[in-house]
Amino acid sequence: MNILIHPTYFPSISHFVAMAQAENITFEIEDNFQKQTNRNRTYIYSPNGIQLLNIPVKHSKVSHQKTKDIKIETDFDWQKQHFKSLEAAYRSSPFFEFFEDDLRPIFEKKHTFLLDLNFEALAILSKCLRFKIESTTTSEYFHEVETAITDYRSLVDGKKDKSIFETYTQVFDDKNGFINNLSVLDLLFNEGKYAMDYLKQQKLFIK
């Protein structure tokens, strides 16, 4: 299966289900940036339930700005906040300490562009999951894609993603129950080396 998909910030389980089951991956980098999508956000399971981690971006007077041109706002110490949130959420999970040193650098390095950070997050996750991502990037934007390619770009809008996945043990599920389709970090910290097996067995719901 050949797929077209967005590079996002610590992608959702849906994103990784699509990639884990693909033969060829093309990342969309010629799209226009849209607010309130997973381009610059991810969701984790905090002690109080679902929590949004959002990367602040610099606002532009240009109405249609490409995602690859979006710059990260550096006036806020969002990296420290995000890592503290991950620690609070997953310090007691089975595999947080195992992957902590792999993840920490992305919260210490200062990126200028959102897309660069997203690709680095993917590279780190690829290493943690022992999943080699063979990919290319788009050179222009097409609203419709050829029939040989499965278009998963809609997954970038988590509100439109209706996929329901099998349950696995989560840190606070005894308090708030199972929360579906969080960042793949949630799966990684809770399932460790079994995460890839899980991803390959799930089914996506795409209209």
Model pLDDT, residue 51: 98
Q: What is the pLDDT of residues 7-49, one digit of tens each?
A: 999 999 999 999 999 999 999 999 999 999 999 999 999 999 9
Is 206 domain-assigned? no
Q: Which amino acid is at 98?
A: F
**Cα–Cα distance, 140 to 119 (Å, whole number):** 18
Least confident of 52-56, 68-72, 113-117, 158-162: 158-162
Question: Averaged over 180-197, what is the pLDDT?
Answer: 97
Considering Cα of 188, then 193, then 196, then 197, what sign does the dihedral take?
negative
Instruction: Mark residue 180 as left, alpha or beta (left: phi above 0; alpha: psi -120 to 50; beta: remaining).
Output: beta
Q: How far is CA 91 from CA 49, 55, 87, 192, in A?
A: 15, 22, 5, 14
Is 37 domain-assigned? yes
> Are 206 and 164 a contacting pair, CB within 8 Å?
no
Question: Averaged over 176-197, what is the pLDDT?
Answer: 97
Is 189 domain-assigned? yes
Q: How are the residues of the chain apportioned to helix, strand and coil, as percentages rounded to the nearest 5?
A: 40, 15, 45
pLDDT at 206 over 80: no
Is 40 domain-assigned? yes
Is 39 domain-assigned? yes
Instruction: Mark residue 36 as left, alpha or beta (left: phi above 0; alpha: psi -120 to 50; beta: remaining).
Output: left
Is 57 domain-assigned? yes
pLDDT band at 143, cuts 50/70/90?
Answer: very high
Domain count, the chain: 1
In the block, residue with structure tokens 């788009």:
138
pLDDT at 62 over 80: no
Is 207 domain-assigned? no
Closest alpha carbon to 102 in 80, 83, 77, 74: 83
Average pLDDT, the chain: 95
Predicted TM-score (pTM) of the model is 0.95
pLDDT band at 146, cuts 50/70/90?
Answer: confident
Q: Which amino acid is at 27?
A: F
pLDDT band at 207, cuts 50/70/90?
Answer: low
Which domain covers residue 35, as residue numbers? 2-201
Is 32 domain-assigned? yes
Q: Is 9 helix (H, G, I), strand (E, B) or coil?
A: coil
Q: Percent of the chain scored above 90 by pLDDT?
A: 89
- Can you read off the two tokens belonging to residue 17? 């289900």
